[in-house]
Chains A and B, each alone.
Chain A
Amino acid sequence: MRGFGSVAERLRRATVQVVSGAQRGLGSGIVWDSGGLVLTNAHVARHREAQVQLWDGLRLPARLVSIDPRRDIAALRVAAADLEPASPGDSSVVKPGELVIAVGSPLGFAGALSTGVVHSVGPVPGMGGQRWIRANVRLAPGNSGGPLADADGRVIGINTAVMGGLGIAVPVNDALAFLRRGPLPSLGVTLRPVSHGLMILEIEAGGAADGASLRPGDVLPVSVEALHQALDSGRETLRLPFLRGGNRRVRQTVVRLEARAVAA
């Protein structure tokens, strides 16, 4: 019998379910080293504490180590040894048409497998200037944070969204850069695109924007790409224009972009 059997089985053993917060839904995660490092999506691990369920059903408490909302990656740590980690591939050589396997817990079914091919690699409108892997695989809520792997079972991406029916994954090289150098600078806000810019929906306590005079409902009259470019400029402070309450006057605030304290 030909099939994805053994490749899929190894990948399945390195895939976990992640439950973060009380009402937050289920996501997936990837065992990154045998010592208990687990990678998942930032949007799955939104709380300091989470629960991780291994492939064999064992449930372990997990702690959020680091989070990068811009790349949608988070690192969790569980107290375990001798886990079977996934092996990372190289997302810089991923080509359209190559076979991919996704494992996750779509709608709560642990270890579910979907296969397809890489659709394309490149920027996604509205998701910043960075490159994403788009894959012709059927994903569902719960696949988020799980692995997208090549035909050898090497992880080339972390599944993060479904857009127009296509699975969208963070390239694994971005995840490796995050593990080496930490998260990209971020404002610490939840943004939603509106007709004239980006509206602030939520401001994280302790985030960069928390100390500035911004409020939920304010609109930053910039594109996601321009905002990311400004954040990546290396400056410690950022002068940020914003609009408030239907007023046409553009106000300004200054945001301090010091490296955010991250629990280690």
Chain B
Amino acid sequence: MNRSVESSAPTPPPPGPRRGYWAGVWRQFRRNRAAVVGLACVMGLFAVAFLAPLLANRYPFVWTASDPETGRTVTSFPLVRQFFAPPEKVVPERVLEMTYNYLLLFLPCAGLVWWASSRLGAWRQGRWLLAPVGVLLLLPFVLVQPRLDPTPYRRLAAQDQGQGVFPPVPYGPFEQGFGNRIPPTWWDDESLEGARDTYHLLGTDNAGRDVFVRVIHGARVSLAVGIVSVFIATAIGILIGATAGYFGGCVDLLLSRLIEIMICFPTFFLILTIIAVMEQRSILNIMLVIGVTAWTGVARLVRGEVLKQRSLDYVTASVALGARSSRTIFRHVLPNSLAPVFVSMTFGIASSILLESGLSFLGFGVDIPTASWGELLNQAREAPAVYWWLALFPGLPIFFTVTIYNLVGEGLRDAMDPRLRMGPAA
């Protein structure tokens, strides 16, 4: 009985090499428990940042009170109004808040559309729903006018002059008046006489604002700065690195010199200097400055990868078919060169967040009154032992965030390492 040859030959590889590659990376990533935990924590952090105004806000979701004039019961939704029209005065900060709030609504809707249409097998048609849904959700953000609502809902509720459903932490990030630099309420401190009527989990800062609320809202700032600045840096880096690597010759020489010059600038000092001479210290400027100074690593990485790819045959084939350089680069070379860039982006987010906190700590970061973890730490500087809650608690989220991003970055890097994925050498 002659067994057929095919039975001992290995099965052919699955089709679509690029899809197979990322599926393989994900499979390998999943095996690294620490990295998976890190990824889950990253999602948790995103959840906190997105849900911030729903978690900590001085305005209740729903408020029912009787109108003193007419005597009728009126129901209002104060938080909803603030949600669609955040009261921040500075434009970039307001745009940031609105973007977060918008995404909080849009992403689940998009997810729902995707899930429903895949279920029905009609993803191609379902896709077209996304645009109108997106526009629809945009309407309230455009139409609702921002209005500062000074109604002291909490006090009214305490005095039984109305009922409302408050967020879990019923204080606002800019709400002052709780007493300057008071330690957490659960801390037994004989120096403070009398009962404090408001509960502050992490105490108050130097302007009498609740620290816990500022920590939660600080997540929005840190995350936004981290991600946007890394995107800027990566975009610039890919542009310059790919151009230098692909075209070689004079272009490479010039661009490499440019990269070298950029590296020569002492980054931290450069950032400090630019921020010092800038007129406005909005969050957008911070993102830009960090992004514009951090692209050199990515550029070198991409340049190296593109150089490697350029000598491969598929590039020659593409050129021989008459494709323009840009097409060859974008469709063929770049997708194959970008794997390590994702790792660098993850680590970049971690270091960007560290950088932003450091800048805020030194007073060169986001402007008051925007909440930032670093800025809270700065308040503890005069007497760390006395203002210990300001020295301890705001640092924890920074540490936590950087750790989880580093974990994910390492997991990603190990998952993409071909040597670790292959079995023992024959």
Do these two chains interact?
no
B interface, CB within 8 angstroms of A: none
A interface, CB within 8 angstroms of B: none
